[in-house]
Amino acid sequence: MAFLRAWRRLRPCAALLDAVAPETCALCDLAYDPRTWCSRGSRAPGLRLWDEPHLCRPCAARLDTGPFTGRVGRVGRDSRSLTVWAATATSAELTRALGAWKYRGVRGLAWPLGALLAAGLARLAPTTEPCRLVPVPLHGSRRRDRGFNQSEVLALLVARAGGPAVRTDLLRRVRATAQQASLDDPAARAANLGGAFAVVDRRDGELPREMPLVLVDDVVTSGATVLAAAAALRAAGRPVAGVLALAAARAGVAGGRVDRAVTPA
Ligand SMILES: [Zn+2]
């Protein structure tokens, strides 16, 4: 935290603060060191003044898993299927970083994760046409509990890094659903999302009907969530080009498959 860091510079406060609130890397427990620490990025809603990345640079580099630089695949079947652009492979480090961000409130991890997604967008170049990013919404109750929507924060950070503009006003989660991660069965995952999303019909003419939309989610596992979100948008006449995610399961369920690794040119 920023004010703690300022106090830390005033010895002997540092020793006392380290005892009560040690600042360490969220992945390797390395103590804070300005020379090897991830820096903050631009602020987005969902990030507070005192948030810090809490991540050392070697761990941030490990999130982007070496020569494996991204994957493109599809989830769903036939006309309802969706292309998935995943910035990186799933890894134990990424799972831990996402867990710390979403469930343990280490909000500043959004910066390195947002940078990872922005790099994925640049490398995978999902569409050459103008498009809009649509983060997968959380239900109001879950958003209140967590304090932010991880997909929205990621999308906003990607937009600030030069990506397409974000629309958070097109899609709503109208039904609170069980956490997808708690359901193993593909059929249960799909059923859990029935009627979960609704499209806000905007008649202001601000967004052309033909503008392609790219959904943004943190991780695509079975694809059930993004397929349900895309189905709602498509039913309202909005074209969905695919999904941009930090990572996607190599072999999803519910017909999902991520099958082509992409290496940079
Ligand atoms: Zn570390």
> 68 and 261 in contact (C-beta within 8 Å)?
yes
Weakest mean pLDDT among 96-110, 133-147, 160-174, 238-252: 238-252
Three-state secondary-structure class, residue 142: helix
Give me ligand 1 centre to Cα 234, in Å. 42
Tally of CB atoms within 10 A around 143: 16
Return the pLDDT at 227.
Answer: 92
114 CA to centre of ligand 1 in angstroms: 17
Write down the pLDDT at residue 226.
Answer: 93
For residue 223, the model assigns a pLDDT of: 85
C-alpha distance from residue 208 to each of 29, 80, 167, 169, 205 (Å): 48, 22, 13, 14, 6
pLDDT for residue 239 is more than 80: yes
Rounded to 5 degrees, what are φ and ψ at 21? -140, 70
| C-alpha 87 to ligand 1 mean position (Å) | 20
94 neighbors 27 (Cβ within 8 angstroms): no
Q: State how far the Cα of 262 lies from the Cα of 79, in Å rounded to an integer.
A: 24
Taking CA atoms, 198 is separated from 173, 208, 231, in Å, by 6, 19, 10
Protein residues near ligand 1, an ion, with CB under 5 A: 25, 27-28, 30, 56, 59
CA dihedral 40, 141, 221, 90 (to 10 degrees): 20
Question: Is the per-residue pLDDT at 78 higher than 80?
Answer: no
The residues near 100 (Cβ < 8 Å, ≥ 6 apart) are: 26, 27, 54, 106, 109
Q: Classify domain 68-261 at the CATH class level.
A: alpha beta
Q: State pLDDT tens for residues 202-237.
A: 665 688 888 999 999 999 888 889 999 999 999 999
- Cα(85)–Cα(121) distance, rounded to whole angstroms? 8
Ligand 1 centroid to residue 22 C-alpha, Å: 14
Q: How remote is the CA of residue 30 from the centroid of ligand 1, in Å?
A: 6
Specify the pairing of strand 213-220 against strand 132-135.
parallel
225 C-alpha to ligand 1 centroid (Å): 31
pTM of this prediction? 0.83
**247, β-bridge pairs:** 88, 219
Token pair 């005192």 is found at 50
CA distance linking residue 69 with residue 261, whole number of Å: 7
Could you tell me if 213 and 170 are in contact, meaning their C-beta atoms sit under 8 angstroms apart?
Answer: yes
Task: Tell me the CA–centroid distance for residue 98 and ligand 1, in Å.
Answer: 14
Query: Structural domain boundaries of the chain?
Result: 68-261
